[in-house]
Structure 1
Amino acid sequence: MVTRFLAVLLTVASVALPAPHRARWREEALAVLLEVRGGRRWRYAVDTVVKVPLLAWQYGRTELAGGPARWPSTVAGAGLLGTPLLLVGAVAAAPVIGEEAAEFFFLLAPCGMLPAVAVWAWRWAAGRGGGAVRFVAAALLAVFAGTGPIAAGALSAAVDLPVVAVVGSVVPGGWLIATNLIALRHGRQPVALSALGVTAGTALVGLLSGLQLSILSAGTSGLASALGALSFLLLVPTYPAWSAWAGIRLLFRTGVGGAVR
């Protein structure tokens, strides 16, 4: 009974701490309290709880001084928040601006991921020791995953290899799937957000690859059109929802969001 009461007390007190430190602090504090008996245990408990605000301040100061700058996450969040506006706007304005213009803006919408991909790729490269090879790989990933079919289409036209555009069209959705699965595995974001990201990434892969396949081969136009239509229906509700949610987390959380870790 006493152990349960202390566990509840520490759980409530730990809310003041940054989320990554709560579980370990609760375990260590409870272990210390269980090692003492009598009145000393309760004095220790009061002392531990009273010091939580000071510990939270110390954690915040240390992470602010040694952690990554906040402005990259802010830029990444703003880019993600702009994505659903462009996506929904392209669909809604299609009768006014025409199908070709609407399709152009629709394909441009994934470019809102560019800042998020760039921040994620840079930190990935820096976290593994940096070096020219890693940073070049990070730059290529940022360009191809962050601009949708634009970079892949330009490279395909430059080298006269249409298959490059097909392969490149998979990269944005693939990045979205991979990063959300990684964030889910490490507990960096809610399960619902990860599910939205994986679903949106799958739909993005289907839509962009379907468009490229229909251009590449007339024989696959029927299958590609069906794939594109189904992916479109799945993408319209999930991609804006993921972008808005992830963008808000990046803008307003004190730490770095899972999308750019």
Structure 2
Amino acid sequence: MVDAFTFSDGGDFNRSRRRTWMHLEICHHLDGRVKKKQLFHLCMEICLTLHSSLPTIQLIEAEMSIMKTNQHLEFIQPTDPVSQQALLKEVDEIFEIQITALGTLYNVSKSAVRLTLGSSHRPKYLAQVCYEYAVEGKWPSQGHDNDADWLDLSAFVATGRSYVEHYGATPPKMLEKTLVMGGIRASLDSDRPDIEGIPAVLEGLYSGFLTLLEIAIMAQMSEKSVRNATQPTAQDRLVTSKQGTRTVVEVAEALRWLSGRRSFNPTVVV
């Protein structure tokens, strides 16, 4: 049965798919209502959305493009606090709703889906890695240039956002803000020679400038407060420039100004 679904997209994805298929075969025996065709489609959905191995270069590029557009930015409130405990709670909430959603969609019991997915350990690990860099400003000396980790977390959070409308789930606000902060911090760290191994997906966000909203997010201040800091009479004025019709701040100036804010942690190599 497994060999009937052989793809030419790469061994890692095939191994991931075969392992998931075998788990779903167990579910088939546990829940007789599950058809083989349903199992196959569920297997593919799980592999494509939850496993770190992606089937084709095109899919990797597509997901990187999504990350580069900062798809989570529209949901961010700059003043919302972010805590690691609350962040991990959001991961568990998304994971549990994911089990319900997949079970409902494919008419599979929750126990069958849970058996396949296992636990929320991996998305929790990804959230913690992202939090330590994005919020706490801690970068490991050996780097962490695994694009799959950041892409997988972005996909997981986007899935959680989709459940808000369809299942009445709580919006994953902290996860979304943490991902956005990771991209902004990567821009702030772009010229630091002591920080190596930043994932290419974050490097793709570099522009040389930050918007006032991005600075507000990192300072956990309102955008209005940041705008007030750009006035000529402001103490420790934030110097801006124009990029077309947009008001922007050069990265070096943004880092200087943010470093004077108590709510911002400059990046340190640990």
TM (normalized to structure 2)?
A: 0.25
TM (normalized to structure 1)?
A: 0.25
Larger-gyration structure (1/2): 1
Kindly indicate which of the two structures has a greater share of residues assigned to strand: 2
